Structure 1
Amino acid sequence: MTSTEYEKNDKKTKVLNWFKNPTRSSVINIAWPVLVELLLGSLFGMIDMMMLGRMRDNSLSAASVAAVGMTNQPLFIGLSLVQALNVGGTAMVARYYGSGQKDKIETTLKHVMLLSLFMLAIPLSTLGIIFTDSILSFMGAEADALQAGRMYFKVIMVGFIFQSLNMSISAALRGIGQTKIPMRINLFSNLFNVFGNAILIYGLLGFPELGVTGAGISTAISNVIACVLLFCYVIKGKSVVRLNLKNRFKFQKDIIYNLIKIGLPASLEQMAMRTGVLIFVKIVAGLGTVVYASHQIALNILGLSFQPGQAFGIAASSLVGRSLGAHEHSKAEDYAKETRKIGSMISTLMAVVFFFFGPQLVGLYSNDPIVIENASLALKIIALVQPFQSSQLILAGGLRGAGDTFWPLVSTFTGVLMIRVGLAHIFVRVLGYGLAGAWMAVFVDQFVRWIFVYARFRTGKWKYAKLR
């Protein structure tokens, strides 16, 4: 065997040994389906935006892109509140699974689903449909964006009800590390959404040309499909996470207590996040429809960079929760550190792509040179954000899995609601830095949040959070 062949074999051995590490293997097994699901979900979202950005009428196209961005912000408030409740569900399911109390998993899922549906999804959807114009006007929508987005918002708020149930079941499955089923179902529904968008936006196959409203209809139907498939899966009883509709349901004080203890800080965190982002969006919207369209395209691409942090954050939540449930504190810390290491490697690679290939990425959305220039500059700043963003998301996921949701709340309240909004106002409205100033504020916000979360993780006090 030649020296070159020895070197190749040595490299293969090192790669295989890297993957064989038990801690790393567990992290990757849980994280990769979530990462694939989130990345392809974002990719499908990017394709949707590209479809709207390439409609024949340029002014209507810009208004549609801006309308989707403005309607997404209030929708995200509702989704974030549902997700906050799901944080409690994931942490509890992981703890019960790790401690062998599998009988408590079904009743936890039922609590989360019912609370999500009747306390959040239905009331918020109803309010959104009734006050559509007021909400969009508050978001800073100009006449063209308001006209384009009115019906779109009403339709997606109907789909929001089904999406909330989809999120609750997926969160419970991820709590036990079962991430492949949500991945397959959500990929199927997203693929349906892409084809549905193409048909209804452009009026293909004999369907009417509905523009941005068609995108809303396709999205709502895909949410219904995902909800039905997930519901059928847990009813069949093939998983530890199951639903038996024949069993009598009764609200239990301990489960409600745990959901409130974990979910209330998480809900306040999401409210702080979405309120800050909403104000931030209003500041950017004041720069005009074309600049806001550039901002929305940059946000859409930024969604890709969130995915490694979110995927490995979900893996950290599951593995940390299960380890603490089994009273393996050092193992919980090892899982958190390993998830951060791998997620940061992936985010760094994405940062390089954003920094050097920004114009090419933005060019997929729009041919407008002003849009390309503004969004490309934003992507360079986004690239610098990556190391702090990824680490913060993953470590915060580990803290949530432990049930320690207070410090992520403090970090978000300080970073988003105070730092991002305050600096955006100064950079955009006072100093006139435009869209670049807004994204400079995002950079400082992410850095501050990383400091808070990392400092809390270093104390190790999160290992001793108690649940009933």
Structure 2
Amino acid sequence: MTEKNNVLEEDLTQESPSGSRFAWKWKNPVRSDVMTLAWPVLIELLMGSLFGMVDMMMLGWIADKALSAASVAAVGITNQPMLIGLSLAQALNVGGTAMIARYVGAKQPHKVESVLKHVILLNLILLAIPLSLFGILYAEQIMVFMGAQADTVAAGSTYFRIVFVGFVFQTFNMSITAALRGIGETKAPMMINVRANFLNVIGNALLIYGLLFFPRLGVTGAGISTTLSQVVASVLMIRYLKKKDSPLQVNFLKKFRYNKTVIQNLIRIGIPASLESLALRIGILFFVRIVAGLGTVVYASHQIALSILGLSFNPGQAFGIAASSMVGRSLGSKNLQLAEDYAKETRKIGSLISTLMAVIFFFFGPQLVGLYTSDPVIIANASGALKIIALVQPFQSSQLILAGALRGAGDTVWPLVATFVGVFGFRVILSHVFVNIMGLGLIGAWYAVFADQFIRWTFVYGRFRTNKWKHVKIK
């Protein structure tokens, strides 16, 4: 995008680079495209995080304080191996999004369906089904390995198994969502996922507390509700793809044809992304074990802080996803300057939103944690962690968005390097030093998180500045 295009007003009928038409005149069409694509993703992620926070709050409000803390800890323990599986699936999705965006930008939409089918099948056959079976068969052993105390295992092993059944459906949904984002369609997955999450919250209320005529199942009820919501989302996704006016036409009854080029691209883009995700999750496993050693109550405080941290990830993730799609399509159409403009604009807007959230976390931490629990020890621990989370925000948001831009270009090696160095070289080592050697407790663990995010930002920002990502080739 040239300087002239950024300054002059666009005609009402001009087609924007992202494929949408302007509803009124914009002085900055790049910003228009960014907001058009990013706001549904941001709403979707924010609502997902908020619904997740409500789930955690519901468990925190269980009358029996010991059972409540064990239930919250059980969800946190379950989330870690679950996130490993989801991050591996997401690595394939990264490759799919990059390829689909390139093909759309290069006016080759006939290749999109083949890419999506390859991603779905690889995710289900290689990851979702085997990992789901492993989680169901070895739930207690995995939880103990993760550092769960006996009360946490007793409260949450059934929850663990039920949620891993839903993992298969969640993986399927993520693949379709990634493909839709690659073509620039973000509103449909937003509506589907918000509806599914809303049903999950209603189901949690009914099954955790035994409202109306439903049994009181506690954390097990939360697992049932979560899995059913994933099934509902899968049904809605398939219905959307079967609509005649769907921008992503996929015929699941049509015979699948293996495509060597698609596999080669997915391997070249997906392996670094997969290793990045694996490094991140394995590093966090070690990190979680260090924190879990501080006891159930402190670990529950940590999980509440993580829940709120998840909310703060949303602007960076949303604008990172938008950057992936727009950078990929711009490079597909050979417009290198436009790709850079999109990356910079997404970073600017996402960082502004994250800064606002940082202010809220820093000054209103106790009030936010108080929504989860009335336990003064948990409130004190978690609100202290929130002050560090606030300081993390500028670096976290920037690196998430620029890493998204690099992935959209198919440049997935440097985000891998950044994550490996940040997580293993700083988060794991420093958390061990601060918690186990210096005895700083939970606050020490979060000092290590700050160091990790700063290092990752340094690597990703440095790579973006080289402009080498503009010249990555996809067949």
| TM-score of the two chains, using structure 2 as the length reference | 0.94
> Which residue is 1:405 aligned to?
412
> Which residue is 1:227 aligned to?
234
8 Å contact from structure 1 (residues 428, 437) kept in 2: yes
Please list every run of 5 or more consecutive structure 2 residues that lacks an aligned counterpart in the other structure: 1-22
Please state how far the C-alpha of 1:190 moved relative to its aligned partner: 0.2
Identify which of 276, 279, 285 aligns with 1:272. Answer: 279
* Equivalent position amino acid for 1:251 in 2: Y
> Which residue is 1:166 aligned to?
173
Distance 1:136 1:22 in 2: 50
Distance 2:425 2:244 in 1: 46
**Residue by residue, what CA displacement relative to the aligned partner does 1:62-85 show, whole Å, maximum 9, x if unpaired?**
000001000100000000001111
Distance 1:155 1:18 in 2: 51
Identify which of 294, 297, 303 aligns with 2:301. Answer: 294
8 Å contact from structure 1 (residues 102, 240) kept in 2: no
**Residue by residue, what CA displacement relative to the aligned partner does 1:424-452 show, whole Å, maximum 9, x if unpaired?**
00000000000000000000000000000
8 Å contact from structure 1 (residues 275, 417) kept in 2: no
Identify which of 89, 93, 108 aligns with 2:96. Answer: 89
Identify which of 18, 34, 46 aligns with 2:53. Answer: 46
Please state how far the C-alpha of 1:246 moved relative to its aligned partner: 3.8
Please state how far the C-alpha of 1:235 moved relative to its aligned partner: 2.3
> Which residue is 1:105 aligned to?
112
**Residue by residue, what CA displacement relative to the aligned partner does 1:7-60 show, whole Å, maximum 9, x if unpaired?**
xxxxxxxxx999641000000000000000000110000000000000010100
Range with bigger deviation, 326-335 or 241-250: 241-250
Please state how far the C-alpha of 1:205 moved relative to its aligned partner: 1.2
* Equivalent position amino acid for 2:138 in 1: F
| Structure 1 residues 111 and 237: CA distance shift in structure 2, 3 A | farther
How many residue pairs get aligned? The number is: 453
> Which residue is 1:125 aligned to?
132
> Which residue is 1:6 aligned to?
none
**Residue by residue, what CA displacement relative to the aligned partner does 1:200-232 show, whole Å, maximum 9, x if unpaired?**
000011111000000000000000000111112
Report percent identity of matched pairs: 68
1:145 aligns with 2:155: no
8 Å contact from structure 1 (residues 237, 243) kept in 2: no
Q: Please show how residues 319-334 of structure 1 align to structure 2 within 5 Å.
A: 319-334=326-341
Identify which of 440, 443, 454 aligns with 1:433. Answer: 440
Provide the alpha-carbon RMSD of the alignment.
Answer: 1.1
Please list every run of 5 or more consecutive structure 1 residues that lacks an aligned counterpart in the other structure: 1-15
1:363 aligns with 2:370: yes
Q: Helix, strand or coil: the match of 1:330?
A: helix
Identify which of 167, 180, 187 aligns with 2:187. Answer: 180
Distance 2:248 2:161 in 1: 33
> Which residue is 1:351 aligned to?
358
> Which residue is 1:379 aligned to?
386
* Equivalent position amino acid for 1:241 in 2: L
> Which residue is 1:79 aligned to?
86
Please state how far the C-alpha of 1:240 moved relative to its aligned partner: 3.2
Please state how far the C-alpha of 1:241 moved relative to its aligned partner: 1.6
Please state how far the C-alpha of 1:249 moved relative to its aligned partner: 1.3
Please state how far the C-alpha of 1:238 moved relative to its aligned partner: 2.3
Q: Helix, strand or coil: the match of 2:47?
A: helix
> Which residue is 1:208 aligned to?
215
Please state how far the C-alpha of 1:104 moved relative to its aligned partner: 0.2
1:341 aligns with 2:348: yes
* Equivalent position amino acid for 2:195 in 1: F
Identify which of 439, 444, 457 aligns with 1:450. Answer: 457
Q: Helix, strand or coil: the match of 2:247?
A: coil
Q: Helix, strand or coil: the match of 1:137?
A: helix
Please state how far the C-alpha of 1:377 moved relative to its aligned partner: 0.4
Distance 1:453 1:18 in 2: 34
8 Å contact from structure 1 (residues 420, 444) kept in 2: yes
| TM-score of the two chains, using structure 1 as the length reference | 0.96
Please state how far the C-alpha of 1:233 moved relative to its aligned partner: 1.0
> Which residue is 1:32 aligned to?
39
* Equivalent position amino acid for 2:166 in 1: G
Q: Helix, strand or coil: the match of 1:287?
A: coil
Range with bigger deviation, 18-27 or 307-316: 18-27
Distance 1:456 1:399 in 2: 9
Distance 1:210 1:246 in 2: 39
Distance 2:195 2:26 in 1: 29
**Residue by residue, what CA displacement relative to the aligned partner does 1:101-150 show, whole Å, maximum 9, x if unpaired?**
00000011000000011110000000000111110000111110001110
Distance 2:25 2:247 in 1: 30
| Structure 1 residues 374 and 458: CA distance shift in structure 2, 3 A | same
Which aligned segments of 4 or more residues in structure 1 are displaced greater than 3 angstroms? Answer: 16-20
Q: Helix, strand or coil: the match of 2:258?
A: coil
Distance 2:24 2:380 in 1: 45
| Structure 1 residues 360 and 332: CA distance shift in structure 2, 3 A | same
Higher helix share: 1
| Structure 1 residues 149 and 209: CA distance shift in structure 2, 3 A | same
* Equivalent position amino acid for 1:96 in 2: Y
Q: Please show how residues 228-243 of structure 1 align to structure 2 within 5 Å.
A: 228-243=235-250
Distance 2:400 2:94 in 1: 14
